[in-house]
Structures are given as structure tokens and as C-alpha cells.
Structure 1
Amino acid sequence: MPSANALPQNAQSALDGWIAAAAPVVEKICGTSEAGWAQVRASYMSGLNHLFPAPEGVTFGAMALDSVSAMTVVPEGKTQGRVLLYIHGGGYVHGGVEGYRGLTGRLASALNAEVYAPDYRQAPEFPFPTPIDDVFAAYRALLSSGVDPHNLVLAGDSAGGAMVVTIMRKARDAGIALPAAGVAFSPWANLTHSGLSATVRDGIDPLCSVDFLNKLARMFLAGELPTHPDASPVFADVHDLAPILVQIGENEVMLSDAIRLAANLGEARVRTSLEVWPGMFHVWHLLAGILPDADQALRNAVRFLDDALHAGAQRDGRRTSI
């Protein structure tokens, strides 16, 4: 079976750096650190920003979407009106937008879209459902600001990948417009971790162990059931959602549940694409510019979103070149 040991040396070095940057997070979640959560998150995001810096040709800013602060990412030569809402990962506990300048910058440039990344509140200070509610508030704020839903797409990784599905569901249930499409990178789609890969991949995925994920889930859920459809979209009613692409690494403990998520979507007649990447680990996309598999995965994701945006523009009678 391919493993992280087969990575090119520069990619392996970046992965090792990522694991080192995450060490204080692991210590905090395991109860062996006295540092505060703000300090731990800031240190981790600083580490990611150093390892995966922003590309040239993008400008970063900040704004509020409703009451939720958000990072803005604007590429040179953006296509007017195109918007990507990017939902960062971190198990609803330890993520932050500052560590995603590299990934969101690359997506913004490739898609020629303005990116908004909500800096949603996180557990344990703000457990379920606050992170999800914050992202949904940001989504609604974009629509209220005049963003055309046909020009709006979603993407996210890990917990953010699961929220791509959940935000669409909440929009459907609220009777408001859905985005044109969504992409879920390595989605954390089942907080029960009942898929086979949680057993056979545990110890292979260099970034996520089942024990660590269980600790994150307990911290986030704060007594809510892990089968709640907002926490675990594999258990949700997902009919009438926009097209969704799921990308998952073959070495991930989340593999089986990502496949189950794609099956749940497909059986609900949602146009669904699933990509399983041999030998890849959790959210390998962050290594874009370093790891060829990350570059290709992002190209596939951009193509999927771009096709949906073109289709939306044509439905509105605004013909665009392909």
C-alpha cells in the first residue's frame, strides 16, 4: 500500500513540518498543555502560513459577514461577480483562516474568483452547533449582499468539507438559494468513525488517528449525538443539493465515510463526483506547489467549480467563453 514515505523529499519535509506545527494542538487536546486555546490556534496557524505561504498575485483583507469575521482573498484579474466561500478545517476546534492563505490564494487565482473564508467560532468555547451556525450566517450574508447564487460556489476541507454539505442542506431547508456547486476536500463526514478505514487505515494516515478524532468529536459535540445530521452528513437527508465533488486520500481513516457520503449524495439524486487519491493523506491539498498530487487535485476541483459557474452564467443568459 502506498504511504507517506513514498512522497518526494520536499513534500515529506513539508508534511513533517505540518505534523510538528500541530504538536501543540495535540498536546492541548490531550490535556498535557497549559497554553490557552487562542495561543495554541495562533501558533498552529502561524506554522501553516510559514509552510504553505500565499502565492503571488493575490490580496488579502478582512471584513464581517453578518457578525462573523472573514478573510477576503482577491486575485489579480478576477472575473466580476465570481465568489467562492471557503470553509477551513480543524475539527471545529483548532483551525483558522490565517493558515489557509496558500490554499485559498491558489483557488482564487485558478478560479478567477473572490474568496471569503469565515473565521467561525470554535469548540470548546463555542461547541456544536455554533461553528455551523456561523458559517451559515456568513453564507446568508453573502446572498444578502447581492452575490448571485449562480456565481457562488463552496469549498472546504475536513470539518469544512462536511460543512459544504451541511450548509447546502440548511439553505435548502430555509428556502434560500443554493450555490452553483461545492467541493469537499477530505470531509470529516461521520463523527462515529464507523467506517472500515477507521480500523485498517488507523496508523497509516500521518495526520489523523481515530483516538485523536474521537477527542475532537467529544469536544465539539459537547453531549450532542455524533449521528446528528448537522455533525455527520452521512446520516443526513441530502436530496435537492447542488453538484458536489468529494476528494479523499486512500490513506485516510476517513476514506470509508467519504465514500459513504458520496453514496448518500448519489442515492439522493445529487450529481456527485468522487475521487479517491492513492497514497494521499488528510487534506494533502495544502501541499499545492510542493506535491504534484495536490496540484492535480486542485486543478480537478477548479474545473468542477468552473464548469458549474459557466452553467449558471448560461442559465442567466450571460454567455461566457470556455
Structure 2
Amino acid sequence: MLSKNAQNVLDGWIAAAGPVVQKLYGQSEECWPDVRKQYMQGLESLFPAVSGVSYKTLTLGNMPTMVSERHEHAGSSVVLYIHGGGYVHGGVEAYRGLTGRIATALNATVYVPDYRQAPDFPFPTPIEDVFSAYRALLDRGINPKNLVLVGDSAGGAMVITMMRKARDAGIPLPAAGVAFSPWADLTHSGLAATARDGIDPLCSIDFLTQLAREFLAGELPTHPDASPVYADVQGLSPTLIQIGENEVMLSGAMKLASNLGEARVRTTLEVWPGMFHVWHLFAGTLPEADQALRNAMRFLKDVLSESSESDDATSMP
């Protein structure tokens, strides 16, 4: 049972998504950029920036990128945050609150690329854009042992895909990855897709199927870059997956965690009873969001600390 404040925020999120739903189902003549702008304005008011954090925009990998960091000097840790939105309707403006909290917790600089999206830029453009941003961070001299990936929904799936692409390209992998409510299986073949449909207040299978159609533009939903549950995940970095028990994406997240574990990837899976899609955005309003975010930050701190200790040991005479 949500508190009154949390329920009001959830209701506000559903209302803000109205223009997205209308556009997706052909009930609106507005263009997608205008629809995204309306949606982001609604979410920005629901999930505002936090105090003590500065926000600016720079170019990373030829795309505008929001940067969140504490007013005080940030440490050496760097986060590449990959926003969600089904590869169609997301944007960076909704993430000032969440990335500000991450920047504060890790004393890190957080980069959020505003990657291009479908239907104007369908598969694989969003994925290629984010990988370009990852490469750009390495080209800036960022030590990969200080770099972690965090993402939600479609961005959570891309956390896995970015590590795979780095592995296959022969470039350094990040120290770790965290996936919030990953959209890991665009076939929606798991039991949760039917058992939770209508329970998750934010995502239905029909809605996700419409998003997948816009994004894939004829590509198969089993393509490993679109659905990481069908990918070779050997050799990836330590990964934490957090998923809400009410989510239609539950089965996909659990299958992804199982595949990672069987591939000998250090994997942590957290299933949160009663939680809905990307409840992490409710940090500061919902206790379960605060706790999930604390768990995720603790996971990243441990991995970053291990990487630092490994560097120190290597540099000893």
C-alpha cells in the first residue's frame, strides 16, 4: 500500500504518459519530439533536481549529454546512466533527481546521454549512440576501473548490451553494471508477462509490444542487442539487477540474472515485493525506492573499492 504522497506521484506519472499513449496508438497528430517534451516536463516536475548537485550539458559521442555532479569537488568515480523510455519516449530531464542522488551517494560524476530514439531513429541507433558515449568516456581518459554503468528499463537492458559490445570490440569493460527494471526480453515470453499484466500500473504487454514495434522496425525481438536474454553474456562485469515483483518484466529480469550466473558472471538479483516499474525514481517519497537505491549504491561502492585496491596492489613496488 503506497502512501498518499507516493500514490499522487504515481498518478501524476500515469497522467504525464497520456500523450505518449495517444501517440503510440495513433490517437494524436503531434510529432514525437513534442510528445517527448510534454512527457519530460511532466516527469521533471514529479522527480525534481536535488539540492547540492549541479547540472550541465556537454557533447559526448556527438550527442548532448546531461552531467550531474555535486557542487563540491567530485571524486574519481564516473557513472554512465542510460535512461529508459522504451527506446521511443524517454529523455534526460526526468532524471535530475535520480542521477543527483547517485552523484551524491558515490561522490561521482554522472553522464546521461540524450541518445536518438525511434521511430525516427529505430534499432540499432539508440544502442549505437550509447556505445559511442561509452567510447567517448574512455577516450577522455576515464579509467574503466572507476567507471560503472547504471540504467533503467530499456536503459537497464542496454547496461548489459554495452558490456557485451565493449567485450566484443576488445575495449575495457566498466567495473560494474546496475540494471533497474530491465526490459530484457522484447518477446515477453515469460510467465510474468501474463500473470502481472494489469497489475503493473505503468507497463502493459500491449503497450510494450507497441513500443517494441516502433523500436525494432522489422528487426526480430530475439536479436541479442534488443533482448539481452538471448545474448552471450560470458565475461561481463559484476552486475546487480533490481526488479519489482509486480512488473510484467519480472520473468525477463530473472532469466537474465540466471543467464549471467550460469556464464560465471558475478550476479546479484533483487526482487522487490509489490514494487512497480522503475520505482527507484520515487526516492525521497517511497521508502522502498530509498532502500533499493542504497543497496545499488552499496554494490557499486564495493566494486569500485575493490577496483581501487587492485590498482594499489598492482602499483606497489
Shared topology, TM-score over 0.5? yes
Q: Which among 5, 13, 16 is matched to residue 10 of structure 1?
A: 5
Task: Check if 1:127 corresponds to 2:145.
Answer: no
Q: Which residue of 2 aligns with 1:43?
A: 38
| One-letter code aligned to 2:260 | L
Distance in 2, matches of 1:79 and 1:149, equals 17
Task: Check if 1:252 corresponds to 2:244.
Answer: no
Distance in 2, matches of 1:25 and 1:148, equals 39
Q: Which residue of 2 aligns with 1:163?
A: 158
Q: Which residue of 2 aligns with 1:3?
A: none
Tell me: CA distance 1:77–1:307, structure 2 relative to 1, closer, same or farther (3 Å): farther
Q: Which among 64, 68, 71 is matched to residue 63 of structure 2?
A: 68
Shift of 1:78: 4.5
Q: Which among 133, 141, 145 is matched to residue 146 of structure 1?
A: 141
Shift of 1:12: 0.5
Q: What secondary structure is seen at the aligned counterpart in 2 of 1:71?
A: strand
Shift of 1:76: 3.1
Q: What secondary structure is seen at the aligned counterpart in 2 of 1:183?
A: strand
| One-letter code aligned to 1:35 | E
| One-letter code aligned to 2:311 | D
Tell me: CA distance 1:299–1:204, structure 2 relative to 1, closer, same or farther (3 Å): same
Counting aligned pairs with the same residue, the percent is 70
| One-letter code aligned to 1:196 | L
After superposition, give the CA deviation of every residue in 1:88-141 in whole Å (9 maximum; x if it has no partner): 000000000011111111111111100000000000000000000000000000
Task: Check if 1:317 corresponds to 2:298.
Answer: no
Distance in 1, matches of 2:6 and 2:196, equals 21
Task: Check if 1:242 corresponds to 2:242.
Answer: no
Instruction: Give the 5 Å matches for 1:203-214.
Output: 203-214=198-209
Q: Which residue of 1 aligns with 2:86?
A: 91
Q: Which among 180, 187, 190 is matched to residue 192 of structure 1?
A: 187
Shift of 1:318: 7.7
| One-letter code aligned to 1:68 | M
Distance in 1, matches of 2:51 and 2:75, equals 20
Q: Which among 256, 270, 280 is matched to residue 261 of structure 1?
A: 256
Q: Which among 100, 110, 134 is matched to residue 115 of structure 1?
A: 110
Distance in 2, matches of 1:19 and 1:37, equals 18
Shift of 1:68: 1.7
Distance in 2, matches of 1:152 and 1:282, equals 26
Shift of 1:80: 2.7
| One-letter code aligned to 2:292 | A
Query: What's the TM-score, normalizing by structure 1?
Result: 0.96
Q: What secondary structure is seen at the aligned counterpart in 1 of 2:43?
A: helix
Q: Which runs of 4+ in 1 moved over 4 A?
A: none
Q: What secondary structure is seen at the aligned counterpart in 1 of 2:51?
A: coil
Distance in 1, matches of 2:260 and 2:72, equals 35
| One-letter code aligned to 1:277 | W
Shift of 1:151: 0.3
Task: Check if 1:178 corresponds to 2:169.
Answer: no
Shift of 1:311: 0.8
Does the Cα contact within 8 Å between 1:234 and 1:257 map onto a contact in 2? yes
Distance in 2, matches of 1:318 and 1:14, equals 47
Q: What secondary structure is seen at the aligned counterpart in 1 of 2:178?
A: strand
Distance in 1, matches of 2:299 and 2:72, equals 20
Does the Cα contact within 8 Å between 1:76 and 1:109 map onto a contact in 2? no
Aligned residues: 314
Instruction: Give the 5 Å matches for 1:283-294.
Output: 283-294=278-289
After superposition, give the CA deviation of every residue in 1:186-230 in whole Å (9 maximum; x if it has no partner): 000000000100001000000000000000001000000000000
Q: Which residue of 2 aligns with 1:55?
A: 50
Distance in 1, matches of 2:6 and 2:124, equals 35
| One-letter code aligned to 1:157 | D
| One-letter code aligned to 1:115 | V
Q: Which among 92, 95, 119 is matched to residue 100 of structure 1?
A: 95
Q: What secondary structure is seen at the aligned counterpart in 2 of 1:317?
A: helix
Distance in 2, matches of 1:271 and 1:11, equals 33
Which stretches in structure 2 are left out of the alignment for 5+ residues?
Answer: none
More divergent stretch after superposition (78-87 vs 138-147): 78-87
Distance in 2, matches of 1:261 and 1:161, equals 11
Tell me: CA distance 1:29–1:200, structure 2 relative to 1, closer, same or farther (3 Å): same
Does the Cα contact within 8 Å between 1:239 and 1:270 map onto a contact in 2? yes
| One-letter code aligned to 2:16 | A
Does the Cα contact within 8 Å between 1:78 and 1:113 map onto a contact in 2? no
Q: Which among 291, 302, 305 is matched to residue 300 of structure 2?
A: 305
Does the Cα contact within 8 Å between 1:14 and 1:51 map onto a contact in 2? yes
